[in-house]
Amino acid sequence: MKFLDLAKVYIRSGSGGNGCVSFRREKYIEYGGPDGGDGGTGGSVWVEAVDGLNTLIDFRYQQHFFANNGIPGMGRQRTGADGDDIVLRVPVGTEILDEDEETLIADMTEIGQRVLLAKGGNGGWGNLHFKSSTNQAPRRANPGQEGVERTLWLRLKLIADVGLLGLPNAGKSTFLAATSNARPKIADYPFTTLHPNLGVVGIDGVEFVVADIPGLIEGASEGRGLGDLFLGHVERCSVLLHLVDGSSGTLIEDYHTIIGELEAYGGALADKPRVTVLNKIDTMDEEEREFLKAEMEEACGGAVLLMSGVSGEGTDTVLRALRAQIDDNRLRHKIPEEEDETWRP
């Protein structure tokens, strides 16, 4: 399934049905009086967060969503039928934005959450509603209320616990593949990751979700490269995992490049807890590891962990450091496998 995290949709709620002007006409009844019914209410447009979706690809092929109009009222005091509602089903984590792409209308963060996007128009009153002691034969009825038409943007921000950051080829996809069942594309050239990948990792009896986004480059906050398009997917994460390529000859510059892009992106992304890891230590000897680690700790002003996604060395230590930064209510506890109690003679 192709990943799509931004879609433009056009919605319109149904108009209300017109009221009816009608009079009771039966044999031997001289003064029947008004009996025009009311119009039905137009259908509304709703959005609902559902389980089982992780992309907005459905809105690539259908962008227009129009609810049905209400049925006009009829004689014999018959009210018109209401128009059917339309429900846009979106993945959890979808933001509903106005046409300007800035005004937030709704943030769909929970399964089953429903938000009204466009209310259907009210049905018009029939002439029966206007009957009074001084106006016993009204010849007026209200038209139905017009529906609401608007253009909206849907933006998906994946809900993950950990977000992976780093320059291209820093080893993010390799780490995700080594610690989870996810199978992202891995190759020895930049920008092998073209869309976010999710993986569920486990450590010490708990599980959490890790999101891998395309690598950032200098100037990403100004639109260069691919990473800035996907930084929104790590805004909801509890902690960021910053991988620095230890085999690079400019690892200090690489570190500051990522930090600078986070600060330029704005919001609270730069203030999120971070775990800094020196990756690809399988290419170094013990002396080089300690030297580069000391340099990194001086540059970032905090602890730096050592890891190799290829050999698996240090991955458990990194996962435990990430687990300590995640709230317990976001962690999922593994269900222990039940012992085979099948009777054997």
Whole-number Å distance between alpha carbons of 147 and 66 = 10
Q: Is residue 261 part of a domain?
A: yes
Are 214 and 289 members of one domain? yes
Q: Is the pLDDT of residue 225 over 70?
A: no
Burial (CB count <10 Å: 0-12, 13-18, 19+), residue 233: buried
Residue 157, marked binder: no
Are 90 and 192 members of one domain? no
Domain of residue 30, CATH code: 2.70.210.12
Residue 262, marked binder: no
Are 220 and 310 members of one domain? yes
234 and 211 in contact (C-beta within 8 Å)? yes
Domain of residue 188, CATH code: 3.40.50.300
Residue 170, marked binder: yes
Residue 180, marked binder: no
* Tens of pLDDT, residues 66-95: 999 999 999 999 999 999 999 999 999 899
* Tens of pLDDT, residues 295-339: 888 888 888 999 988 888 889 999 999 998 888 777 777 665 544
Expressed as residue numbers, the domain containing 116 is: 1-156
Residue 214, marked binder: yes
Q: Give the pair of three-digit tokens for residue 14.
A: 């149904």
Residue 129, marked binder: no
